[in-house]
Chain A
Amino acid sequence: MHTQAMPARDAGGAQLAQRFRDSALSFSRPRQVDMDLLVRFGVHPILVRIRDGRVTAAEGPAAPLPSCDVAMQASEAAWSRFWQAVPDAGWHDIFALAKRGELRIEGNLQPLMAHLQFVKDLVASPREVQA
């Protein structure tokens, strides 16, 4: 799978967005999740449409100001560190990133909290595989 071969460090936002898109499109869990999640890699957004626990679309938004339920934004460097096979302490969880000011979470937090592990697993899905 080429997303795992791509080096995490020094990847640009567009590359990271593509890597997330490739990973997200095969993500599903057996639970009733319906939400639109916007994830930004620096200035590069991916809008993820989730229906019935399955990612049905993951694309760059067609127009500015895309509507979503929840949005997350972090820098390219933060996502790269987060996706390392064994992330460094403090860079290993979305709330660790948020606490250190490296990740912003915005929008309606109810669907996020109701399906928190689903979303955590989804955004971590491009993580490199441990050797």
Chain B
Amino acid sequence: MKAALEPIVGRYVSFDIAGRRCRVYFEEAGEGIPLVCLHTAGADGRQYRHMMCDPEITSRYRVIALDLPWHGKSYPPEGWQDEEYRLSTDLYVETVMAFCHALALDRPALIGCSIGGRIVLQLAHLHSRNFRALIGVEAADHQAPWYDTSWLHRGDVHGGEVCAALVSGLVAPQSPAVHRHETLWQYMQGGPGVFRGDLHFYRVDSDLRGRLDGIRTDLCPLYLLTGEYDFSCTPEDTLRTAASIPGAQVTIMRELGHFPMSENPEQFRGYLLPVLDAIARQ
């Protein structure tokens, strides 16, 4: 063996979500506090590969990045061919809780980006006792739409290409080209209609404005990190959200866009490590 192996290990686990058996792929690296990672809409767990290869993180955290059903190497559940994929708030929450239960994770920390950031807010609202800490990246209770999602799944437009081209503007201009294009490649690889199905949750079924009362950040700290170049979930969206949650700790990140852990891992870790330090000290 001449080339160095990365520490990332991939496994499959099967469990029920909303009464349907799902075979879910996940990757992990490190030991210590479980840190569950939720990818953005239309992408997969590869977005967290840099965190899984960062000894400053993996020396203290068991970093676990799953591919949601329909994404990456997780197949859709049986019978998918006869339905339209539509993620909902309830299905998303159940998926996350079922995954944590299947792996017998004891009060893990959790980080989610974009739709993963939105569901972090709902998890904080409903299940804060089940988590050690929650990190919402590009997270807000609501954000204004900026295009018609019907373009994402049509016969006369290549779905992968239009998904990637649309989100390309959400990557900060300072992000290294290699990471920018790797991030976009994931969007080009998504299944037909999956990005749009994720955005059903984002656009239609998860307006959390005025519905986040009672979040106990004293029991489960909530950190919100948003990139200044994200015009989808804007810094203003996150700041407004944070203002409605007593104890939420918010940081606006310079020179980052909508995919911090994937588009510019070096820049992101400067913001993430202090959060992980604080969680480890709890």
List chain A positions with a Cβ less than 8 A from chain B. 86-87, 89-90, 92-96, 98-100, 109-110, 113-114, 116-117, 120
Contact (Cβ within 8 A) A94 B169? yes
Contact (Cβ within 8 A) A86 B173? yes
| B196 nearest CB across to chain A (Å) | 13
Specify which chain B residues have a CB less than 8 angstroms from the CB of A114 in the assembled complex: 156-158, 162
Specify which chain B residues have a CB less than 8 angstroms from the CB of A90 in the assembled complex: 229, 231
What CA separation (Å) do A100 and B147 show in the bound complex? Answer: 13
Number of residues from B at the complex interface, CB < 8 A: 21
Interface SS, B side: loop
Contact (Cβ within 8 A) A113 B173? no
- Contact count A vs B, C-beta below 8 Å: 51
Interface SS, A side: helix
Contact (Cβ within 8 A) A109 B151? yes
What CA separation (Å) do A90 and B255 show in the bound complex? Answer: 12
Contact (Cβ within 8 A) A98 B146? yes
Question: Knowing A95-B147, A96-B231, A98-B146 touch, does A120 contact B173 (C-beta < 8 A)?
Answer: no
Specify which chain B residues have a CB less than 8 angstroms from the CB of A87 in the assembled complex: 173
* B228 close to chain A: CB less than 8 A: yes
B129-179 at interface with A (beta carbon < 8 Å)? 144, 146-147, 151, 156-158, 161-162, 164-166, 168-170, 172-174
| B176 nearest CB across to chain A (Å) | 12
B230-251 at interface with A (beta carbon < 8 Å)? 231
| A9 nearest CB across to chain B (Å) | 17
Contact (Cβ within 8 A) A92 B169? yes
Contact (Cβ within 8 A) B146 A99? yes
Residue among B144, B151, B228, B231 with max Cβ neighbours from chain A (10 Å): B231
What are 8 A-B contacts defined by CB distance under 8 Å? A86-B173, A100-B231, A114-B156, A114-B162, A116-B162, A116-B166, A117-B161, A120-B169
B180-212 at interface with A (beta carbon < 8 Å)? none
